[in-house]
Amino acid sequence: MTETQLLPSGKPIISQLEMLNITKRFPGVIANYKVNFDVRSGEVHALLGENGAGKSTLMKILYGLYQPEEGQIKLDGKEVSIHSPVDSIDLGIGMIHQHFMLVESLTVAENVALGLPSSRGFLTDLDKVSERILELAEIYGLQVDPEAYIWQLAVGQQQRVEIIKALYRGAALLILDEPTAVLTPQEVDEFFITMRQMIDDGHALIFISHKLHEVIEISHRVSVLRDGQMIGTIPTKGATKSKLAEMMVGREVGIKKDRFETDTSEKRLVLENVSALSNRGTPALTNVTLDVRSGEILGIAGVSGNGQRELAEVITGLRPVTGGKIILEGEDVTGLTPKQLMNRSLSYIPEERMKDGMIKEFTVAENLILREHDLEPFSKNGLLNLKTISAHSEKLITSYNVKTPSQETMAKNLSGGNIQKLVLAREISRKPHTLIAAQPTRGLDIGATEYVHLRLLEQREEGTATLLISEDLDEILALSDRIAVLFEGEVMGVLHQSEATPEKLGLLMAGVVE
């Protein structure tokens, strides 16, 4: 390296960043153990791993949010110490968080300027900031209006603001933490174009994702972490999905699932022109008409926040409808309470399982009877039948393979995957006629996701009518018999599995009807 190369933003490139022998412990957990990782100018280095494998710990160390106990970080061959994000930003390291760090009620320029000293002391210099934003937008092809308010922007545009924010601060290396999780397939394509341009310009990118096909498409090298240890770094060329999945999980993952013909003669759950309001009082669902048949999985696709949550809550009686009818097994059940619906054999796997699905300070056994504690055989005349409850939970722990020290363990001490197994066990063991599964695998690792999928397909074969709400298109496509797409609270269309492609769904998800 004889002379310093410059990026289009005018900052020097980072030709190589190395993390050597990084070890980080948390009380009782080794999050990173002697991890080696490096990224170079002009490449996308993908970081893969299941939840809890240590990816985010490693990246938080790089960004200065955690301090490693052992190991060193070298930037262009020189050892550096990063004590806080201020240090990492000074070194040219930027991070795009999975959940955007933007203030909704401020403009793009105000968000970019946030936390930076003004060139005019106590007065703002937003005009200068805006100018610079437009410059950067020009160079990188990231169209944004500096005067626009964040709340006015679509998710993809907000992400561009995050990137501009990092570039504005002189980032030469960007950590992208699951950047595609919130995007439609079309937005992902656009995002990849931006990424390619950035590496052409000499940036170094670290790409964290669960989605193996994206990793294969965009990255040059892949590193896989498992249980806090680096399993290996391989060139992407020649890597296959199954090879990567195997490295992540540590065993072969069976992606193939057999689907059997089922009896779908009965329209078990019917929604007729259902409308409802969001928590803010704005229309969240408008004239939704759907039916879910026995023995089928109806997938609900859509970008987050297009009425999925309200749909689930309306069906389960948690949210009042402002219009329309809900018919369960031939009877009008509009306006019934969650309890009454539950007694009509409706089960619900809520989206936010930690908040809505279980009680952290209750034992595993107590959580397993959350719905049916007041029914026989779990209680009689108001007295709990502890023996039955204990036997019941012992049975479910075994048959649903919940990893827990005992049934007396507090639920909060279980891992995310095991908590979802707990919720599944509770909702499915009732042998429901109708099942609402909202984001049932969000945040779960491959192994746990696979397990949930198998259980859902098993329910399908047993004749359960399942409404599967998911933002993961792959999941929707893999499991559903039919797919309905929600956009701004309206059903844009219902496709049969055989005619659904990511492209068709993507257009519908963006509100485009041919």
Partner 1 sequence: MNRKRQSEVVSKLMDALLPVFAVLAALAIGAVMLIILGANPIEAFGALLEGAFGSANALADTVVKATPLLLIGLGICISFRGNVINIGGEGQMIIGALMATALGLAFPEWPGLLMITLAMVVGFLGGAVWGGIPGALKAYFGVNEILSTIMMNAIAVQLMNFLLAGPMIDPVQAGKASKIPQTARLSNAFDLPRLIPTRLHLGALIAVILAVVVYILLWRTTLGYRIRAVGQNQDASRYAGIDVKRQVVLALLLSGAFAGLAGAIQVFGVNHRMITDGSATGFTGSAGFNGIVAALFGQLHPLGTIPASFLFGALLVGANKLQRVVQVPSAVITALNGLVVIFVVSSEIWRRRRETKRRTEATFEMEIEELHPPPAQDLTANEEGVS
Q: Which chain residues interact with partner 1 by CB under 8 A?
A: 27-29, 33-34, 36, 221, 227, 229-235, 250, 316, 318, 337-339, 341-342, 348, 350, 352, 355-362, 366, 370-371, 373-374, 379, 382-384, 386, 403, 405, 409-410, 413, 415
Kindly state the smallest distance separating residue 318's Cβ from partner 1, in Å: 7
- What's 100-149 look like in SS3? CCCCCCCEHHHHHHCCCCCCECCECCHHHHHHHHHHHHHHHCCCCCCCCE
Q: What are the tokens at 165? A: 């924010």
Q: What are the tokens at 491? A: 């059903």
254 within 8 A of 429, measured Cβ to Cβ: no
Looking at this protein, which amino acid is placed at residue 147? E
Kindly state the smallest distance separating residue 45's Cβ from partner 1, in Å: 10
Residue among 68 and 146 whose Cβ is closer to partner 1? 68
3-state DSSP call for residue 309? Answer: helix
Q: Which residues contact 289 (CB under 8 A, 6 or more apart)?
A: 271, 272, 273, 274, 491
Residue among 399 and 413 whose Cβ is closer to partner 1? 413
Residue among 332 and 352 whose Cβ is closer to partner 1? 352
Residue among 201 and 445 whose Cβ is closer to partner 1? 445
3-state DSSP call for residue 161? Answer: helix
424 within 8 A of 337, measured Cβ to Cβ: no
- Choose among 201, 175, 216: nearest CA to 19: 175
Indicate the helix (H) or strand (E) that contains 339: helix 338-342
Residue among 169 and 442 whose Cβ is closer to partner 1? 442
Kindly state the smallest distance separating residue 475's Cβ from partner 1, in Å: 22
Residue among 258 and 361 whose Cβ is closer to partner 1? 361
418 within 8 A of 402, measured Cβ to Cβ: yes
Kindly state the smallest distance separating residue 38's Cβ from partner 1, in Å: 8
Kindly state the smallest distance separating residue 415's Cβ from partner 1, in Å: 8
CA distance 119 to 129: 10
Kindly state the smallest distance separating residue 356's Cβ from partner 1, in Å: 5
304 within 8 A of 471, measured Cβ to Cβ: yes
Residue among 417 and 506 whose Cβ is closer to partner 1? 417
Kindly state the smallest distance separating residue 176's Cβ from partner 1, in Å: 21
Cα–Cα separations (whole angstroms), residue 62 to 18, 31, 266, 274, 362: 10, 14, 55, 49, 37
Indicate the helix (H) or strand (E) that contains 349: strand 346-349
Kindly state the smallest distance separating residue 299's Cβ from partner 1, in Å: 22
- Choose among 98, 209, 212, 156: nearest CA to 509: 156
Cα–Cα separations (whole angstroms), residue 227 to 32, 33, 92, 236, 239: 8, 9, 29, 22, 21
Indicate the helix (H) or strand (E) that contains 457: helix 446-461
Residue among 30 and 148 whose Cβ is closer to partner 1? 30
First to last CA, the chain: 53
Residue among 168 and 400 whose Cβ is closer to partner 1? 400
Residue among 102 and 349 whose Cβ is closer to partner 1? 349
Kindly state the smallest distance separating residue 260's Cβ from partner 1, in Å: 32
